[in-house]
A and B are shown apart, each in its own frame.
Chain A
Amino acid sequence: MWFLDNAWLVPLIPALSFAVILLFGKRLPRKGSEVGIAAVGASFVLSVGAAIQWINHLRNADGTSALGALGRAVGRLSAEGPAVEPITRATTWFESGTFKLSAGIQIDGLAVMMMFVVTLISLLVHIYSSEYMRGDVRYTHYYAALSLFTASMLLLVVADNTLLMLIGWELVGLCSFMLIGHWWEEKPNSDAALKAFLTTRTGDIGLLTGVVMTFFIVQRYTGHGSFNIVALNDAASSGKVSHTLIMWCALALLLGIMGKSGQFPLHTWLPDAMAGPTPVSALIHAATMVVAGVYLGARLYPVFWNGLSIGTPGHGAWNAMAIIGGITVLVGATLAFVQDDIKKVLAYSTISQLGYMTMALGVGAWTAAVFHLFTHAFFKADLFLGAGSVSHSGSHHSFDMKKDMGGLRKVMPQTFWTFVIGSLALAGIFPLAGFWSKDEILVNAGRHGYTAFVVVGLLGALLTAAYMTRCIYLTFFGEYRGGHAHADDGAHGHVVDAHESADAHGHGGPHESNWVLTMPLWVLTALAVVTGLLNYPAWHRFETWFQPRVHFVEAPAVPFNPILAIVSVAIALTGIGVAWAFYSGRLRALHDLSVRNAVARVGKMILVNKYYLDWLYTDVIVGGIKGPIAAGAYWVNQHIIDNVLNFTGRGARAVGRFTYDYIDQKGVDGVINGIATVTGEAGGETQKIQTGRLQFYALLLVLAVGLFAAALWIFT
């Protein structure tokens, strides 16, 4: 149990690494990267240890040996066992009167799973970055920020109360801001960083409100408030707390999820966040930070379950969470079609997949959502790192598929194959990871009465397969279009520094990346292939290991549905086939449709303009505040507030004049001058006896003594 009891070390080590890199990084031989890699490696080892011990812990609780558990698991579909409390360790954070706030860790299956994902991908990204970012101007700071990010994300994962989670949540947001704006010298990059920060901050208003409400939910149930997650889930699933309170709490938290996890309509920051370095996109904006919202939803699931009436038959077939998720699936997938930037395709794809997860939580499929989070982390990180490899070695640091890529299949075979396998996993092709997790979402939605969301999911699968085919075709097939070396300018000029150092080791035309870049790709590809089997329908290891055993609510598990699986794979294959036919030129009828057909033209324009959401936010909302509202505020300021101020000022001046003339000059000064005069006169009089003659003083002395003696004699 050592690893579980000491899981607080997992976030602590990268936090220390952050301080060390920041203070001493520049003086180290490898500029701080070795510290970061070692620290995250140590955290990874601890996480694996914790995962193994957690699984053993469950086995002991189930009273079965490894073989017995395996044998039993094969025979059953549901993985529910006896209750196993999370491992908690807490210390007092601060006390105020009777209110005591503790800070600590809560380790259960979900936390263990997230620790594993975060540390593994962070480790691979750290290694990848040592080559990808070589020669960068702020190499050391980059590693410091990566370490801080890893620490904050792990803090968010292991936190045992919502307040501590909030701290981790805001810290990852800060790191995201720092890393998106890593090349802040260029305006678009710092704009993107600000946009990410401010948009997620809009959601954080909801999160903060929700966290405060969690305190009162616990207070209603136990009598004294607490932020503790176990207590919160206990209270939320007790049924004794006002449903309205839980509902508002769930909606507030949902707003936080929408901001952080790129849910419609707050997803607009995520594509812009691609301005950051590619490994950062893989780690933060695909695999870990953006799933923090989904993680929060999974962590506090009883709140959403009861607040949004997810499991209640009748009016449960629609709820805010599922609807938001469903819209996000389609919005993300459709927008991915019109992007020329390979990273933006992946960013919209991430939005769409996050939509799947939120939708799964919304339809009551907790395990499916978390399972999709788990598998998605691997294949999406794989795709992002693949895109990074393409730009690093194949397209002269450009991410533009139409201008600078094409035909890279032959020169970059390793990148090509890993990218293709990652894409197939994303598209949900049997038997890769995405197939199992996406299928689980669909089958659960279908059985719980959320039929509309099955359609949404299948449509999403079709679009996903098609846009990934487009992406692969443009990048790896056709003719190489990136002949104009060093044509990188504008948004991508920032990498020129790194580029020139890369040239020093023989950077001619496109070539395969070296092993530092391809090794993480292969590791992630392997995981993208096998992780889906963890929840193989007849085995259900994922469910057994990582599903909470206390205060857990979920719609009843449904068995694997072969027909639905076949349908979804067929749909995905259709998507691939149509897209392939279109881009390889066999569907001439559809080419230039947007030029010939008005409907298609309007549709494309809407997509290119990203459903006008950026326009809505920037021009309508921000512009509205900047323009008319600001002008109105100015008018109010000039005409009303200033008048009031001037009137007040004039009145105050008159009062001041009166006070000066009558009270100060005549009253106060008269008294002061009188006192001074009296003192002066008295001094003048007494000065006269100060003769300086010693014998006069002595005479006074004798006279005074005589006077006292006489008085003594008379009065006694």
Chain B
Amino acid sequence: MLLNQFLLLGAFLFSTGVYGVLVRKHTVLVLMSIELMLAAVNINLVAFGAANHTVAGQVFALFVLTIAAAEVGIGLAIVLLIYRNLRTADLDDLELLKD
């Protein structure tokens, strides 16, 4: 059955995203990794939708895309401001949340 291949692809993509979020130092790359995780979720949604012969999965995928776009917009703006203020975008240097 074709579903399993899609799920495996999604799992692989999601794991890649998690790995990227956890280990990459640059904030922009972390954001890109988050996008990878969202893409994995989208693949799952579309796959399950097709398997169940319902359009709901695709509709949800569209919602997730829209939300992801907004999230990236806000995320990039935050990164930009952090960079402007602190002259760095390296996550290892950002320890403000400790306070």
Contact = CB atoms under 8 A, between A and B. Distances in A.
A690 B98 contact: yes
A698 B95 contact: no
A693 B90 CA distance: 11
Nearest to B24: A695
A526 to B, nearest CB: 103
A644 interface: no
A269 B99 CA distance: 85
A92 interface: no
B22 A702 contact: yes
Contact of B91 (A690, A693, A699, A702): A693
The binding surface of chain A is classed by DSSP as helix
A698 B92 contact: no
Interface in A674-710: 690-695, 697-699, 702
B21 interface: yes
Contacts of A692: 94-99
Contacts of A697: 97
Given A698-B21, A698-B22, A699-B22, A691 B95 contact: yes
Nearest to B92: A693
B65 interface: no
B33 to A, nearest CB: 10
Contacts of A691: 95, 98
Contacts of A690: 98
B18 interface: yes
Contacts of A694: 91, 94, 97
A697 B21 CA distance: 11
A695 B91 contact: yes
Nearest to B97: A692
Nearest to A702: B18
A702 B19 CA distance: 10
Contacts of B95: 691-693
A293 to B, nearest CB: 87
Interface string B61-81: 000000000000000000000
B14 to A, nearest CB: 11
Contacts of B97: 692-694, 697
Which residue among A691, A695, A697 has the maximum number of chain B CB atoms within 10 Å of its CB?
A: A695
B34 to A, nearest CB: 10
Nearest to A693: B95
Contacts of B96: 692
Contacts of B18: 702
A698 to B, nearest CB: 5
B64 to A, nearest CB: 18
B22 A695 contact: yes
Contacts of B94: 692, 694
A695 B23 CA distance: 7
Interface in A375-399: none
Contacts of A698: 21-22
A699 B24 CA distance: 12
B88 to A, nearest CB: 13
A692 B79 CA distance: 17
Interface in B47-69: none
Contacts of B23: 695
A702 B14 CA distance: 12
A691 B94 CA distance: 10
Interface in A647-693: 690-693
A706 to B, nearest CB: 10
A698 B22 CA distance: 7
Contacts of B30: 695
A691 B99 CA distance: 9
Nearest to B25: A695
Interface in B3-30: 18, 21-23, 30
A690 B99 CA distance: 9
Contacts of B99: 692
A692 B92 CA distance: 10
B28 to A, nearest CB: 14
Nearest to B98: A692
A699 B94 CA distance: 16
Contacts of B91: 693-695
A702 B34 CA distance: 13
Contacts of B98: 690-692
Nearest to A706: B18
Nearest to B23: A695
Contacts of A695: 21-23, 30, 91
B72 to A, nearest CB: 17
Contacts of A693: 91-92, 95, 97
Which residue among A690, A692, A697 has the maximum number of chain B CB atoms within 10 Å of its CB?
A: A692
A690 B30 CA distance: 21
A697 B95 CA distance: 12
Contacts of A699: 22
Nearest to B99: A692
B89 to A, nearest CB: 12
A638 B98 CA distance: 70
B35 to A, nearest CB: 15
Nearest to A696: B22
A644 B13 CA distance: 89
A691 B91 CA distance: 12
Nearest to B95: A692
Nearest to B21: A698
A700 to B, nearest CB: 11
A695 B92 CA distance: 9
A466 to B, nearest CB: 109
A406 B98 CA distance: 109
Contacts of B22: 695, 698-699, 702
B26 to A, nearest CB: 12
14 contacts: A691-B95, A692-B94, A692-B96, A692-B97, A692-B98, A693-B91, A693-B92, A693-B95, A694-B91, A694-B94, A694-B97, A695-B21, A697-B97, A702-B22
Give 10 nearest A-B pairs by CB, closest first. A692-B98, A692-B95, A692-B97, A698-B21, A694-B91, A699-B22, A695-B22, A702-B18, A690-B98, A695-B91
Interface of B: 18, 21-23, 30, 91-92, 94-99
Given A692-B95, A692-B96, A692-B99, 20 more contacts: A690-B98, A691-B95, A691-B98, A692-B94, A692-B97, A692-B98, A693-B92, A693-B95, A693-B97, A694-B91, A694-B94, A695-B21, A695-B22, A695-B23, A695-B30, A697-B97, A698-B21, A699-B22, A702-B18, A702-B22
